[in-house]
Structure 1
Amino acid sequence: MPKTKVMDLTEDPTPVPSPAATAHRWLSVGRSAATDPRLAGEIAARAALTGASPRLLMVFCSALRDPRAVLAGIRAVGAGVPLIGCSSRAVIGPAGPIEDGVVVVALGGPGFSVVTAAADGANGQQRAAGATVAMTAGLVEDRPHQVLVLLTDGLRSGQEEILAGAYSVVGASVPLLGGSSSPHYPTEPRTFQLHGDEVLTGSVVGASIASDGPLGVALRHGWREVGEPMIVTKSTGGDVFTLDDRPALSAYLQRLDAPPEAYTDPATFSNFAQSRPIGIRRRSGVEVRGVSSPALLRDGLLCSSGEVPEGCLVWPMVGDEESVLAAATDACRDAVEALGGQPPLGLVAFDCESRGRFLGPEGTGREFARMTGQAGGAPVAGMYTWGEIGRTRGINGFHNQTLVVLAVA
């Protein structure tokens, strides 16, 4: 991920509000890379809080930072404002991606209503945690437009269970979006979530946002299917043992004409698979799963951080930098078009960390330019995730190597 060089800011940077903001609904973004974590939180929060009646703070914080110090700085400026947030390998601010910084997105004005919640999402409690947080949808003030933002722990399994729990409460009536917190591996192999005045781990935090104005949710990935589908004939969770009753690893590599070294050398396999995920056929479309394999490539196993159900159809997928960048353009355009002609106040992006690694520093800069090109001058902010949440139709909604965008009017 790119590391933008910035000064150790001791004064507030220029706030980045939306040109479409009004007293009724507004969105502003602040960011800071100040060395002191408390100061960074304070600077970012002060820059974001540009209007009256703030309703929500969304905080995206580098996993390298002390989250308690960052939160203390934010609360010195925005005490009492509902808050959700999490760690990220890199954050997206008004000037683009930055590896070591803090970004705060503020929503405000009487045109928004927000209710937040947090729940323990440890193994065995994922579905209950998703349901608990989703109950905020029934507590928020009734308005014409609503979404549920979910931030989860990327180091925990069972992400689909979290979404199943949320879906059991809200059904198809409320779009789900968000992502899984990511560490700064291997420098800082931890994640954290933020809710109110608390720093949490292993948790699900979320916010139901209801608005008088439209809220657009869109997602794209930029990968294309290769050949005919294969049947997952044996799998457990995200571990795929056989495809079409053949060892999954060799079936996947043969379909993609992989070099011989990819069968035996872990580094070659990892580099090869980075731009070759698999796609799962769902009723709502294709969900992308990044793939890996045990370090010794033993037993012909393919691994994914998301569930690959036994009996489903999958395709190996391929793409290149241009197709991934085009997906960023398309996702942002789709989200803005969902606003029905109203100008966006801002875009919030949940981008996959593996997309960032695939694009590299220069490519992520170009991706950010694609995003801002669709924003009409409104600010763009977000994070790089270890899994993206985007459900606008169907039951499932957990993705890898995908970009999910929320446009707010």
Structure 2
Amino acid sequence: MSVGTSADARPDVAARDAVTQALAGRQASLVMLFVSPTYNMHAIASAAAHAAQDAPVVGCSTSGEIADGRGGSGRVVAVALGGDGLEARTSMGLLADGATAAGSAAAEGLRALTRPHRALILLPDGLAGHHASVVRGAYAVGGATVQLVGGCAGDELAMGTTWQIFGDRAYTGVIVGAAIGSDGPIGIGVGHGWRRTGDPLVVTSSDGSQIFTIDDQPALDAYLAATDAPAAASSDQEAWQRHALERPFGLPRPGGDEVRAVLSADFDNRSLFCGDIPQGSMIWPMEGDADSVMRGTDTAMDEAIGALQGVPAVGFIAFDCAARRNILGEEGVATETSRLAQRAGEAPVAGFYTYGEVARRTGSRGVHSATLVLLALG
């Protein structure tokens, strides 16, 4: 695994330079792109595919990029994976066909893998919702022996459009999958650092991505009351976003709570957009601070390294939630990315800030948000 970056304002130059750095004159099995939404994604995809020298290219837009021991915005980050012990296949699913079918289509590359260790990297549309159905669709193809990992595309919290890159084109409304097979072990680490606060709530009306009522009250009003929100957050978008990004929900699951970021609100019908919380779910408001979130970083790295069972890592791919970036702030992000780089040693770390994370190690579930997910390659 090797990494290239560029902040050149010209999309074709930025893509070419980042990919060329990552390849370093070698042939790759896979090139991944994590791209600031300030760029023209069509131009990025075309230039990157040309520079990749026949290697398959996948990627997405971000809410910030991670590379070179730092996190921030405004770059193109390219990750090249290759070597004699690694193979990769890419595929794409259309959400217009349904989320479950799209997840299955994105997992089709798994069928061609021959190496003993396998994982599927998923890059879903960050605003489409129904990510649990996407994971179920991918699980139906990969089965219990294949780890699922990834992150949902972002757009710097504009909540307008997210982009996915497949080959030489950019899309929206799709699920991109990159199946990797390796002779070396593949590990996943998950950590968030959030904790429950207050009393549990019940989602009494939801379509899976939009919550309409909580405890039979308008969802937005119930959430604001449960989290002691300032008055401005009930009607002002900026005040709402500051409040909500630091106060996700938690769903009880075996092994610990899965976290769901509260992405946005409809002030007219008083509903919440909070992906993958089914009707009837019991949920808790969650709270955290920079220190607890940083402990989640250490947990994710401990798990990822431990899953390699003593084999040295050759690289880490980070899928870190935009909500965590918000609570850490610039100073905290610098500390976190520096800590990841130090823990990784000589192995590179690269990734992006997401609108939700995928990490399935056991069972058919594996949707997270406000969480750090690390993919470790041994």
TM-score by length of 1: 0.85
Deviation, structure 1 residue 213: 0.6
CA distance in 1, matches of 2:240, 2:46: 43
**CA distance change for structure 1 residues 239 and 70 in 2, over 3 Å: closer, same or farther?**
closer
Q: How does 1:108-119 map to 2 (within 5 A)?
A: 108-119=82-93
CA deviation string 1:109-152 (max 9, x = no partner) = 11001111112223x522111111212212112x2211100111
SS in 2 for 1:63: coil
Answer yes or no: is the 8 Å Cα contact 2:129–2:209 preserved in 1.
no
CA deviation string 1:357-396 (max 9, x = no partner) = 2222222111211211221231110011111111112222
129-138 vs 240-249, which deviates more?
A: 240-249
CA distance in 2, matches of 1:407, 1:137: 18
CA distance in 2, matches of 1:373, 1:235: 43
Answer yes or no: is the 8 Å Cα contact 1:277–1:318 preserved in 2.
yes
Q: Name the residue aligned to 1:129.
A: 102
**Which one-letter code corresponds to 1:139 in the other structure?**
A
**Which one-letter code corresponds to 1:50 in the other structure?**
A
Deviation, structure 1 residue 262: 4.7
Deviation, structure 1 residue 267: 4.5
- Residue 397 of structure 1 pairs with residue 366 of structure 2: yes
| Percent of aligned pairs sharing the same letter | 40
**CA distance change for structure 1 residues 263 and 73 in 2, over 3 Å: closer, same or farther?**
closer
Q: Name the residue aligned to 2:164.
A: 193
CA distance in 2, matches of 1:392, 1:247: 35
CA deviation string 1:68-94 (max 9, x = no partner) = 332343334322112211111321111
Q: Name the residue aligned to 2:324.
A: 355
Q: Name the residue aligned to 1:47.
A: 21
- Residue 172 of structure 1 pairs with residue 140 of structure 2: no
CA distance in 1, matches of 2:25, 2:314: 13
Answer yes or no: is the 8 Å Cα contact 1:289–1:399 preserved in 2.
yes
Deviation, structure 1 residue 247: 4.5
SS in 2 for 1:149: strand
Answer yes or no: is the 8 Å Cα contact 2:30–2:82 preserved in 1.
yes
- Residue 183 of structure 1 pairs with residue 155 of structure 2: yes
344-353 vs 302-311, which deviates more?
A: 302-311
**CA distance change for structure 1 residues 210 and 313 in 2, over 3 Å: closer, same or farther?**
same
- Residue 151 of structure 1 pairs with residue 120 of structure 2: no
Answer yes or no: is the 8 Å Cα contact 2:27–2:55 preserved in 1.
no
Q: Name the residue aligned to 2:284.
A: 315
| Unaligned ranges ≥5, structure 2 | none
In our comparison, the structure showing a higher alpha carbon Rg is 1
CA distance in 2, matches of 1:278, 1:101: 31
Alpha-carbon RMSD: 2.3
Q: How many residue pairs were aligned?
A: 378
Deviation, structure 1 residue 66: 2.0
Deviation, structure 1 residue 292: 5.5
Answer yes or no: is the 8 Å Cα contact 2:130–2:209 preserved in 1.
no
SS in 2 for 1:31: strand
**Which one-letter code corresponds to 1:105 in the other structure?**
V
